[in-house]
Amino acid sequence: MTIEEMQQRKRELGLTYEEIAERCELSVPTVQRIISGTTQNPREYTRRQIEAVLSDEKCGTVLRERAFTYMTKKQGDYTAEDYYALPDDQRCELIDGVIYDLASPTAVHQIITLELGIQLDGYVKKNGGKCLVFVAPFDVDLDKRSVVQPDVMVFCSKEGKGKDQKEIPDLAIEVTSPSTRSRDYILKLSKYMASGMSEYWVVDPQKERITVYLFEEEVITKHYGLYDKIPVSIWDGKCVVDLSAAKRKISLSEELKAQPDFADEAEEPGGDDGEGTV
């Protein structure tokens, strides 16, 4: 693609530099320099990554809507029944009648999700608890207009629970990204709080922080660093999550990307263009 074609595709898809960078696993300044034409001779691998995203019609916020044109309803009117009628290869979520397409997770997202699942499942196995740990994709029906896929979730058996009650996780964890941050911190927080869930975490790798919400009589919010030791409240703090092991794997992932075949341009001062998520 020429620079002009890249810029045109970016406008057609309605993507921000931040969204393109996330899908390419490149830095925002690098993507911005290449698409704006500031970098005259980008590396072949980097250019191909950007072109692949701009060529994929499923990535655009405008074209995400077109993926559902065979359905007659407008956004906000979809139900769980509509959600389950979607093609099996269409990974998305339904929140308050709106369908949100889910992009493929990044390497950092996968590393953190896997580490959380391993540690939580390891605690259950060690202590023989009546709990199950799942990682996405796994559908959770919150209500007739909302079906979500938390990145990590814990379901624990409860005595006296009726058969007609919905299976709501005791703990849900979302590993957020720039394109999902507003949903994770606002929409999902509200939905999870109303669902009867006990505990909700938002893991933010970019800002290196973890926010824990405890849904008791009042919502209790606790803030931690990404690599702090964090007690799991549904188990009275007896289980402590430590993502320091993930830190080593994330560093390894960055080293692999820095090798000649995967190298990105060295970062220069600069930032995003100020666009927000559409």
> Is there a contact between 92 and 86 (Cβ–Cβ < 8 Å)?
yes
Rounded to 5°, the CA angle 196-197-201 comes to 150
> Mean of the per-residue pLDDT values for the chain?
82
How far is the C-alpha of 272 from the C-alpha of 278, rounded, in Å? 15
- Which of the pair, 128 or 132, is modelled with greater confidence? 132
Outline where DSSP puts E strands in the chain.
Answer: 92-95, 98-101, 131-135, 140-143, 146-148, 152-156, 171-175, 199-204, 209-215, 219-225, 229-231, 240-242
Task: Look at residue 40 and tell me if it is in a domain.
Answer: yes
40 and 114: one domain?
no
Task: Look at residue 87 and tell me if it is in a domain.
Answer: no
Residue 171's pLDDT is what? 97
- Which of the pair, 130 or 270, is modelled with greater confidence? 130
pLDDT band with cut points at 50, 70 and 90 for residue 63: very low
User: Does the structure show a pLDDT above 50 at 67?
Assistant: no
Percent helix, strand, coil in the chain, to 5, is 40, 20, 40
Tokens 């926010």 belong to residue = 211
User: Does the structure show a pLDDT above 90 at 253?
Assistant: no
Question: How many helices and strands (H and E) does the chain possess?
Answer: 10, 12
Which of 215, 220, 223, 179 lies closest to 195, judged by CA? 215
55 and 140: one domain?
no
Total domains in the fold of the chain: 2
How far is the C-alpha of 104 from the C-alpha of 137, rounded, in Å? 11
Q: Percent of the chain scored above 90 by pLDDT?
A: 45
Task: Look at residue 79 and tell me if it is in a domain.
Answer: no
Measured N-to-C along each axis, helices 17-24 and 28-36 cross at an angle, to the nearest 10 degrees, of 110
Task: Look at residue 90 and tell me if it is in a domain.
Answer: no
pLDDT band with cut points at 50, 70 and 90 for residue 162: very low
58 and 113: one domain?
no
CATH number at residue 152: 3.90.1570.10
- Which of the pair, 99 or 172, is modelled with greater confidence? 172
In terms of C-beta density within 10 A (0-12 exposed, 13-18 middle, 19 or more buried), how is residue 199 classed? buried
Residue type (1 letter), 177? S
How far is the C-alpha of 194 from the C-alpha of 172, rounded, in Å? 13
User: Does the structure show a pLDDT above 80 at 208?
Assistant: yes
Tokens 């998305």 belong to residue = 92
Task: Look at residue 204 and tell me if it is in a domain.
Answer: yes
Residue 72's pLDDT is what? 62
Query: How much is the average pLDDT of 61-76?
Result: 54
> Is there a contact between 159 and 173 (Cβ–Cβ < 8 Å)?
no
Residue 213's pLDDT is what? 98
129 and 204: one domain?
yes
Task: Look at residue 261 and tell me if it is in a domain.
Answer: no
CATH number at residue 57: 1.10.260
- Which of the pair, 145 or 258, is modelled with greater confidence? 145
Write out the residue range of the structural domain in which residue 20 sits.
1-62
User: Does the structure show a pLDDT above 50 at 271?
Assistant: no
Query: How much is the average pLDDT of 51-78?
Result: 63
pLDDT band with cut points at 50, 70 and 90 for residue 159: low
Query: How much is the average pLDDT of 74-95?
Result: 87
Residue 33's pLDDT is what? 84
Please say whether the dihedral angle defined by the alpha carbons of residues 115, 118, 124 and 125, taken in this order, is positive or negative. Answer: negative
User: Does the structure show a pLDDT above 90 at 198?
Assistant: yes
49 and 153: one domain?
no
Terminal-residue alpha carbon distance, the chain: 24
**pLDDT digit string, tens, across residues 10-44:** 877 878 888 888 888 788 888 888 888 877 778 88
How far is the C-alpha of 230 from the C-alpha of 70, rounded, in Å? 45
pTM: 0.69
